[in-house]
Amino acid sequence: MNWTRAIFLEVFAIVHAVAARLIPCPATTLRSGNGQPLLLVHGYCNNAWVWVFLKRKLARAGLGPIYLINLGYPFRSLHTYAQRVEAKADEIARETGKRDLTLVGHSMGGLVAALYALRTDRVCDVVMIASPIEGTPLASFAPGPNAREMQKGSPLLKELGEQMDASDIRFHQIATHCDQLVIPGISAGRKVPVERRLILNNVGHAGLLFSPRVARYLIAALSPSTVI
């Protein structure tokens, strides 16, 4: 039953994601709050349009200001995308006058966010949504150096996992047992303490981007008065 519901919702989410990839999307800002800036980082072969649901939920909760980024050409190294996140972080700091930043990344975007966060002292929280922190076998069939870096046992993922274990950054992980791309889905949510995990059962990989439960977790975890 969980898989049936997840697949049904995933069709909607994938259609949106594919359509979004075909629509030019400027990296926009939602000036929803005066707190710590949030930067949302999309995943493999997507762009910033995929955040259409979650960014509105976060804005309505008063979080932010909220920033989006388009990583550009979809088949580059994760290190290249981390450099682009760094450039965007510098731009956000100049615009807001605030040095600290919270990162939220979906799938590959969570890995990119973690790579950047571990290079700087400007990030306190990183939320990784369905991110293949332990790799996924499907990466072997995808093009690009970024796909090779997301294969199980890749040097990049080994180093990233070790650095996460030694870091003081608050990493949060959101995963689903019904993930069709990160296999097993639970592997996207077991690198952090249980209080910073959200594991769902009846939503798919892309469907997490349209999940009210994911939105509620983000709002609770990232509210200024909350420390998890």
Residue 197 DSSP class: E
176 lies in some domain: yes
What does the pLDDT profile of the chain (228 residues) look like in tens digits? Answer: 554 555 545 555 555 555 555 555 555 667 677 899 999 999 999 999 999 999 999 999 999 999 999 999 999 999 999 999 999 999 999 999 999 999 999 999 999 999 999 999 999 999 999 999 999 999 999 999 999 999 999 999 999 999 999 999 999 999 999 999 999 999 999 999 999 999 999 899 999 999 999 999 999 999 986 655
pLDDT at 8: 47
Least Cα distance to 112 among 160, 66, 73, 65 occurs for 160
The pair of structure tokens assigned to 206 is 């892309």
CATH code where residue 189 lies: 3.40.50.1820
Predicted pLDDT of residue 11: 53
Run of H or E residues at 121: none
Q: How many CB atoms lie within 10 A of CB 162?
A: 10
| pLDDT for the residue 34 | 80
- Look at residue 33 in the predicted model and tell me its pLDDT: 75
28 located within any domain: yes
112, 101, 89, 83: which is closest to 170 by C-alpha? 101
Domain assignment present for 228: no
Q: 97 and 113 in contact (C-beta within 8 Å)? A: no
106 neighbors 156 (Cβ within 8 angstroms) = no
Q: What is the pLDDT of residue 127?
A: 98
Is there a domain that residue 151 lies in?
Answer: yes
Is residue 227, in this structure, part of any structural domain at all?
no
Domain-embedded: residue 49: yes
Question: How many folded domains does the chain comprise?
Answer: 1
Residue 61's domain spans which residues? 2-222
State the number of CA atoms in the 13 A half-sphere of 17 facing the CB: 19
Q: Whole-model pTM?
A: 0.90
Q: How far apart are CA 228 and CA 79, in angstroms?
A: 28
Q: Is residue 89 in some structural domain?
A: yes
